[in-house]
Structure 1
Amino acid sequence: MSTHGMILFGHGARDARWKEPFTRLAAKLAAARGASDAGGPVALAFLELMEPSLPDAIAAQAAQGCTVITVVPVFFGQGGHIRRDLPALIAQCQADHPDVQIRCATAVGEDDAVLNAIVGYCLTHASPGDA
């Protein structure tokens, strides 16, 4: 039986508080996966300015026995980091861990369900008199 890990991949920032919603998201995902018996570890990784790096996070999950790892870019859109930097990192990690299947989702902000959730959030903050 294979173990399927998931890594939420963010940009990173100098201010440690920037990481807080990502940490909450990872905890919610881990709880949801545990509740659904989808199991497997959930981790965070960052492109820069924060730890762990994506290669370190993938190495840690591979060491935990994950045979499949899905990287989910927690980016709003498909900018240069997602189009250039992430594929290079994934290729490096795949070469370092040839026995692990590394998958990569599209940026979360590209998904209509995510955009619809943001629309709903915005609507909850609109006052009745707003134009």
Structure 2
Amino acid sequence: MTSAILLVAHGSRRPEANADLYKLAELFKTEKPESHVEIGFLELTEPTIPQGLSKCAEHGATSIAILPYFLSQGTHVAEDLIRFRDQFQEQFPQVECYVCPPIGLHSKLVELMLHRLDEGTRSHQQQQKTS
């Protein structure tokens, strides 16, 4: 079985916002060298989710994990990604395709948010000292 991972983000008109998904894909390629890794954006930019799924199939994937780079189980994850998966499966019934859970509330996320809080507080305090 040839596995693939499609990392999915919302998409933005700001290239800087989209760059995170490209960087994440590079990290996944290093951490999961046995899997083919592609990206897809829900809207506003390319590659789209259907384009990313097609690239996975073209690469010979027999199994594709759609991995949302979303925080919660909102409409995009609960409905839109399922719709894209179902449309892809109609076109490529021989390829197993499934949607993974979003990032969600996880102990590592709490740890990260506390870290970001500390960074923001330190930065604010530094700005107050220099003004």
SS of corresponding position for 2:44: coil
Aligned length: 122
Q: Moved runs in structure 1, 4+ residues, more than 3 A?
A: none
Give yes or no for the alignment of 1:118 onto 2:112: yes
Report which of the two structures shows the higher radius of gyration computed on alpha carbons.
2
Q: For residue 52 of structure 2, what is the aligned residue in structure 1?
A: 57
Cα distance in 2 between the residues matched to 1:57 and 1:80: 20
User: Structure 2 stretches of 5 or more lacking a match?
Assistant: 126-131
Q: CA deviation at 1:113?
A: 4.5
**1:56 counterpart letter in structure 2:** Q
Q: For residue 3 of structure 1, what is the aligned residue in structure 2?
A: 2
**2:46 counterpart letter in structure 1:** E
Identify if the C-alpha distance between structure 1 residues 3 and 117 changes in structure 2 by more than 3 Å, giving closer, same or farther: farther
Cα distance in 2 between the residues matched to 1:14 and 1:90: 24
**1:118 counterpart letter in structure 2:** L
Q: For residue 86 of structure 2, what is the aligned residue in structure 1?
A: 91
SS of corresponding position for 2:32: helix
Give yes or no for the alignment of 1:41 onto 2:40: no
Q: For residue 100 of structure 1, what is the aligned residue in structure 2?
A: 95
TM-score (normalizing by structure 2) = 0.84
SS of corresponding position for 2:84: helix
Matched residues, percent identical? 26
Cα distance in 2 between the residues matched to 1:42 and 1:117: 27
User: Structure 1 stretches of 5 or more lacking a match?
Assistant: none
Q: For residue 71 of structure 2, what is the aligned residue in structure 1?
A: 76
Cα distance in 2 between the residues matched to 1:42 and 1:113: 26
TM-score (normalizing by structure 1) = 0.84
